[in-house]
């Protein structure tokens, strides 16, 4: 709704999103779908991104798109394998969706274990928020190591 033109590049022919979401995207006049394709190259200069090269997976044909920026989004699966023990059970509390339960200090249910960014519950899935979470978790970890977290 805030961009005049959006290229949605998808590596498959079909989408796995909810049909209603796919329909909204297909009906949006400012969104161009490029399916069965991969981003081969990101181009830029000292000012930032200037374009990308997209390659069709079937034909191998390349297409260059002039654009001022990119946003990468790959799936909704939480990458939480590192928080499982040898038996495959989580070592700390997680939500039914696999997101790590934390408090405002990014502390998990395991004393001395902190989680930040997209893996935590209710994460807004934005880089700036993940960076803020990381700062909070780092300060909390320092306090823990110094014994000031009581």
Question: Which domains are present in the chain?
Answer: 6-66 (3.50.50.60), 81-145 (3.50.50.60)
How many angstroms separate the CA atoms of 80 and 120, rounded? Answer: 10
Measure Cα distances from 135 to 26, 33, 113, 149 in Å. Answer: 39, 37, 15, 16
In 3D space, the residue among 44, 60, 43, 8 whose CA is nearest the CA of residue 52 turns out to be 43
Count Cβ atoms below 10 Å from residue 85 Cβ, excluding itself.
8
Helices (H) and strands (E) in the chain, counts: 2, 5
What DSSP designation does 101 have? Answer: P
133 has pLDDT over 90? yes
Terminal Cα-to-Cα distance of the chain (whole angstroms) = 46
Q: How confident is the model at residue 150 (pLDDT cuts 50, 70, 90)?
A: low
121 has pLDDT over 80? yes
Burial of 106 (0-12, 13-18, 19+ CB in 10 A): buried
Q: How confident is the model at residue 126 (pLDDT cuts 50, 70, 90)?
A: confident
CB contact burial 115-132 (16+ within 10 A = b; e otherwise): bbbbbbeebeeeeeebee
Q: What's the pLDDT at 92?
A: 96
Q: What's the pLDDT at 72?
A: 75
């Amino acid at each position: 709704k805030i961009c005049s033109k959006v290229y949605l590049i998808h590596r498959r022919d079909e989408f796995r999103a909810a049909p209603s979401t796919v329909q909204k995207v297909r009906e949006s006049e400012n969104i161009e779908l490029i399916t069965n394709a991969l981003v081969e190259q990101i181009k830029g200069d000292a000012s930032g991104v200037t374009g990308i090269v997209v390659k069709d997976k079937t034909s191998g044909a390349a297409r260059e798109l002039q654009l001022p920026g990119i946003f990468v989004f790959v799936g909704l699966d939480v990458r939480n394998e590192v928080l499982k023990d040898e038996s495959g059970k989580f070592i700390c509390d997680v939500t039914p969706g696999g997101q790590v339960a934390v408090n405002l200090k990014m502390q998990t249910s395991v004393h001395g274990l902190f989680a930040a960014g997209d893996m935590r519950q209710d994460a807004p899935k934005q880089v700036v928020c993940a960076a803020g979470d990381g700062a909070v978790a780092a300060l909390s970890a320092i306090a823990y190591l110094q014994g000031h977290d009581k």
